[in-house]
Amino acid sequence: MTTTTSIEISPAVIEFLQRPPRLLIDGKWQPAHAGATFATLNPATGEPLCYVAAGDAADVDAAVAAAQRALPAWASMSPAQRERLLHRFADLMEAHKAELAQLETLDNGKPFRVAYNVEVNVAIGQMRYYAGWPTKLTGETYAVSSPGFHVYTRREPVGVCAAITPWNYSLVMAAQKIGPALAAGNTLVLKPAEQTPLTALRLGELALEAGIPSGVLNVVTGFGHTAGAALSHHPGVAKVAFTGSTEVGKAIQRAAAETIKRVSLELGGKSPLILFDDVENLDAAAEAALWAIFSNSGQNCVAGSRLFVHARIYDAVLERLAERARRLVVGPGIEPATDLGPLISAEQLARVQRYIDSGSHAGATLVTGGERLGGRLAGGYFLAPTIFAHVADDAPIACEEIFGPVLTVFRFEDEEEVVARANALPFGLAAGVWTQHLGRAHRMAARLKAGVVWINTYDWFDPAVPFGGMGESGLGRELGRQVMDAYTELKTVWVKVE
C-alpha cells in the first residue's frame, strides 16, 4: 500500500534554503561578482527550492587566486595536521548526516532513505579514507648503478585543482574529489552541477567549521558553459577532475590541452549486464538486473542499461523484470514508500521521452512503462520504469546513453556472441556477469571492455578500490591509492655523496 506521508524537513535545512545566494571564495561567503543568480528546482514539483549565485569567469579568477595564495601553507602543513582537519571535516559531515540527506533529496529527487543510508554514508566513508592518506604519502629510494649517488623521490602536490561534479550523485562525487585533492596538499575550486548545488555549498560551510584554512576549498556555483569552462581553461589550474557526460569530457580535455593540465575524466557508459543460463536463482538475478538500471531512476553512469539474457532463460527473466518493474513505487523522494524519484529536470525528462519514442518507432517491443506520470505527480519530472524487448543492437536506445529508467533486453546464444555484442560500443565503464561457472566468470572478466566488472553482483564500490573507465568512458581512476598519483607530482632527487 502506497503512503504519501512525507518526512519532516528540518529547521536547519529550511534556514539553509533561506540564505542569500553566495559563493565560498577565500574563506568568505560573497555574492557572484556580477550579482547574477539562478533557481535550483525541486524535481519532484518543478518549483524553486531557493536561489543560488551564478558565478562566472571573474568569480573563477578570484577563487583560483585564493587557492593559489592558500597553497604554500596548506602544502607545507604537517601531514598529521592535515589528517586531523580532514577527519574533523568527516566528523561534521556525520553530525549533519540527516541534513545533508534532506538537501540531496530535495535538490536531486532521490529517495531520502537512499540518500541517508547510502549516499551520505559513502561520502563520509570516502572523506575518512582520504583523511588517512596525508601520513601515507611517501617517496622511495633507489639503488642506482652509477656509483656515489643517493637517489630518492618525493611526492608533492600538483597545485590548484578544479573539481567539476555531476548532478546524479553530487555529494558523493564532491567528497570523492575533495578528499584526495586536499589530502595530497593541493587546494581546490569545486564547481557543482547547476542542477544540484546545495550539498556542495553545505560542504563548504562544514569545511570552514572544521578549521580547513581559507582558500583551501572554494565553492563556485554556476553554469557549465561559464564557470565550468572558465575553470577548464584557467592557466592557474593544474588539474581538472570531471565526472559527467562524454561530450563535456571531450571539451574539457581540449581546453586542458592549452596549458597541459592534468585531467581525470569519469564519463558516460552503456553498461552490459549478462545473465548466463546456469544462473541458479532467477529471482535474485532479476532483482539485481532491476536495480542495476532503475537505481537513482536510471541516472547512473554505471547503470546496467543493456541486459543480455541467455535464450534458455530469456522469457522467464523478462517476465520477472516486468512484474517487478510494475510494482515499483514512483514518487517524491521525501515519501518513505518511494522506490524511484523524478528525473532531474524537464530537459532530462524530454530527452528520455525522445529515446522512448525512438525505440517504439524502431520496432522494439515496449514491455512496460514508457509514460510520464500525471495526477498528483504532474508537476514533477516523473517517468514510469520502462523496459524494451526485441531491440536491434544498432537502435539508438541500444547504443546511446539515455541516463533514465529505460532498460533494453537482448537475447543471446553463446559466450563468443555476447562478448562481441557487449564490447561493440565505444564506452567501457562497467559490466556485470551472472554465472555459476568459475572459469567463465574469470574469462568474461578478462574479455569485457570495462573499467570494472561485477560478478554475481552489481554496482558495489569501496573507497579503497579504484574506479574508472576505458574508451569514451574516461581517463584515469578515482578512489583507491591509485587516485593519489593524479593529485601528486613525483620528483626525483639525485644527491652526489662522493
Alpha carbons 414 and 237: distance in angstroms, whole number: 49
231-251 b/e with 16+ CB inside 10 Å = b?
bbbbebbbbbbbbbbbebbeb
From the number of C-beta atoms within 10 Å of its C-beta (0-12, 13-18, 19+), residue 404 rates as buried
Of the candidates 472, 479, 111, which has an alpha carbon nearest to the alpha carbon of residue 271? 472
Q: Which of 266, 335, 401, 472 is catalytic?
A: 266
Distances in whole angstroms, Cα of residue 289 to Cα of each of 106, 326, 410: 27, 14, 13
Alpha carbons 373 and 379: distance in angstroms, whole number: 9
Bridge partner residues of 273 (DSSP): 307, 432
Alpha carbons 3 and 438: distance in angstroms, whole number: 44
Q: What are the counts of helices (DSSP H) followed by strands (DSSP E) for the chain?
A: 17, 22
Cell output for 369: 512503462
Residue 331 contacts residue 341 (beta carbons within 8 Å) = yes
Count of residues making up the chain:
498
Cβ count near 438 (within 10 Å): 9
Tell how strand 365-368 and strand 306-310 pair up. Answer: unpaired
**Catalytic residue list contains 247:** no
Alpha carbons 54 and 289: distance in angstroms, whole number: 39
Cell output for 171: 555529494
CA torsion sign for 319, 320, 323, 326 is: negative
Which position has the grid cell 574508472?
A: 468
Residue 175 contacts residue 206 (beta carbons within 8 Å) = no
Alpha carbons 457 and 462: distance in angstroms, whole number: 14
Cβ count near 28 (within 10 Å): 13
CA torsion sign for 198, 203, 204, 206 is: positive
Q: Which of 301, 335, 401, 478 is catalytic?
A: 301
Strand order across the beta sheet in which 488-496 lies = 141-142, 149-157, 488-496
**Catalytic residue list contains 266:** yes
Alpha carbons 168 and 268: distance in angstroms, whole number: 12
- So which residues are the catalytic ones? 266, 301
